[in-house]
Amino acid sequence: MKISIIIFSMFFSFNLFAHDYHMTHTTLYYNTNTEQVEITIKVAIEDLERALEGGLKEKLKIGTADENEKTNYFIVNYFNNHFKIILNNLPVSYTWVGKETSDNLHDMYLYFEINSFNQHDQSILLKLENTVFFDMALNQSNIVLIDFKDNQQNLIFTKDQKTQSVVIK
């Protein structure tokens, strides 16, 4: 009986580590009414805290009543360095809108936007560089859904593929 319990415990523990994966999901949505690109990034709060607290001496306590007052600053700084958008070979800056904790209390939605985005050109070359959390997890994947009018595309970023380009018509 003890051997069965030991084998089951070893198998269960191994599976916990074998199936561990990390993923973010980002949506770039072009709002035709406001002519803005709305950016929503879904992250695990634990991963976000680990990424932001790396060089800090203090805990951020993201999504709690005791959240550090500098958290938004650290989030914006991190994403400016790890999620880059280039349109027609010109870097684009995006602005912070806010954040909210999901109902499951595990994930957080981060909101940014690109103001006055003019999509009247015939086609746009969109280049993305997404290295979010790559320095923390070997198996990190970042999915990006691009939703511009009739053009929808999914991109998957990994440590081996940090930059991708698409043409939007």
Q: How confident is the model at residue 12 (pLDDT cuts 50, 70, 90)?
A: very low
Is residue 160 domain-resident?
A: yes
Is residue 16 domain-resident?
A: no
pTM here is 0.85
Is residue 72 domain-resident?
A: yes
Does residue 11 carry a pLDDT above 90? Answer: no
Query: What is the rounded distance in angstroms from the CA atom of residue 30 to the CA atom of residue 17?
Result: 38
Q: What is the dihedral of CA 71, 97, 43, 84, to 10 degrees?
A: -100
Could you report the per-residue pLDDT of 71-97, keeping only the tens digit for each? 999 999 999 999 999 999 999 999 999
Is residue 67 domain-resident?
A: yes
Does residue 142 carry a pLDDT above 50? Answer: yes
Is residue 113 domain-resident?
A: yes
Q: Indicate the helix (H) or strand (E) that contains 130.
A: strand 124-130
Q: Which residue has the tokens 């072009």?
A: 30
pLDDT for position 119: 64
End-to-end CA distance of the chain: 65
pLDDT for position 58: 87
Is residue 63 domain-resident?
A: yes
Does residue 1 carry a pLDDT above 80? Answer: no
DSSP 3-state assignment of 164? strand
What is the residue range of 53's domain? 22-168
Q: Which residue has the higher pLDDT, 62 or 3?
A: 62
DSSP 3-state assignment of 86? strand
Could you report the per-residue pLDDT of 26-76, keeping only the tens digit for each? 999 999 898 899 999 999 999 999 999 987 888 999 999 999 999 999 999
Is residue 5 domain-resident?
A: no
* Count of domains forming the chain: 1
pLDDT for position 2: 55
Is residue 163 domain-resident?
A: yes
